[in-house]
Amino acid sequence: MNKEQILLHTYIKQAAKRYIDFMEIEKLPQFGIVEKVISLSSVDKRGFGSYATHHYDILTGTHTLIVWPGICQLHAEYLLFHEFTHILDTDMYVQKDKMKNAMYKGFSEYHAGQIDFLKVLGVKKIDPSISFSMNQIVDTVENTKAAEEYVIKSHDVSTNLINRSDFPADVETLAITVGLIFNYWGRRSICKMYAVDYVESVDNTAIEKFIGKDLFRALDTFMNGWLEEEQIKIIADFYFKMMVSKTKEYSL
């Protein structure tokens, strides 16, 4: 490895150690690291992109973290915490099962949203004493912003994708859009549990139309707090059925 690659791998390994401490777990499942340069033109065209993603090989049960080489130069550790949560959840719930790999993505996006937001807020560990203001300034890869702005970002991106004339362009766009909605629910749950001044003020019109008003409102009520095992199973079943239904609806 060259100097830049050594720096990147060291940065990720150090972040993984801090994640283990944060989650109070013994270890994180092993994962490989693959560098991938982001195509800005593709991001502009499709309406989304990411500095880091998790890939799971169902046949071998191996995890790969795909990252932009320059990620260690940004305020990006929260993005790694997001992907580490996908690694942890996948290892726990999927275990080389193709069906479960499809089912548990919604819950994992919710959970990863919870964890990355707590990391952005500077929380050291999860406990009842957590408290913050929606006006708290946080560092992100884009710029500094209020916690409230960070929470609604995924809601805004998902809404913008739904409102595009070419939505959904493909299965990946559909999955990304639904994942962003679950990310929002996860971050919002943190606000409801720990913020001293949270007031919900988003416009759900586009998302309600996409999911269905009654179903959306039921989910919107259900997706709160740290989910228990039975709740996770319910979400997994719902997510799978919704994705199958939407894939057929849009002929993807």
Q: Kindly write down the DSSP assignment for every residue of 39-79, as one continuous string.
A: -HHHHHHHS---SEEEEEETTTTEEEEEE-GGGGGSS-HHH
> Is residue 76 domain-resident?
yes
The pTM for the full model equals 0.94
Mean pLDDT, the chain, whole residue set:
92
Q: Give the mean model confidence (pLDDT) for residues 234-242.
A: 95
In a domain, 20, yes or no: yes
pLDDT at 39: 56
Asked whether residue 181 is assigned to any structural domain, the reply reads yes
What pLDDT sits at residue 69?
86
Q: How confident is the model at residue 44 (pLDDT cuts 50, 70, 90)?
A: very low
Quick: pLDDT tens for 152-181.
Answer: 999 999 999 999 999 998 999 999 999 999
pLDDT at 38: 67
Q: Check residue 64 and give its pLDDT.
A: 97
What pLDDT sits at residue 40? 45
Tokens of 23: 């989650």
β-pair partners for 146: 137
Q: Does residue 202 carry a pLDDT above 70? A: yes
Task: Mention every residue, 6+ apart, whose C-beta is less than 8 A from residue 130.
Answer: 118, 121, 123, 193, 194
Grade residue 41 by pLDDT with cuts at 50, 70 and 90.
Answer: very low
The reported pLDDT for the residue numbered 3 is 86
- The mean pLDDT value for 60-67 works out to 96
- Between CA 43 and CA 55 the distance in angstroms is 19
* Torsion from C-alpha of 126, 127, 132, 138, nearest 10 degrees: -20
Report the C-alpha gap between 76 and 99 in whole angstroms. 31
Phi, psi of 38 (to 5 degrees): -80, 135
Q: What is the pLDDT of residue 51?
A: 87
Residue 237 lies in a domain: no
What mean pLDDT do residues 100-117 have?
Answer: 97
pLDDT in tens, 173-195: 999 999 999 999 999 999 999 99
Q: Please report the pLDDT score of residue 49 as a whole number.
A: 59
Tell whether 248 is covered by a domain: no
Domain-embedded: residue 24: yes
Q: Does residue 69 fall inside a structural domain?
A: yes
Do 137 and 219 meet the contact criterion of CB atoms below 8 Å apart?
A: no
Question: Residue 75 is part of which domain span?
Answer: 3-227
How many structural domains does the chain have?
1
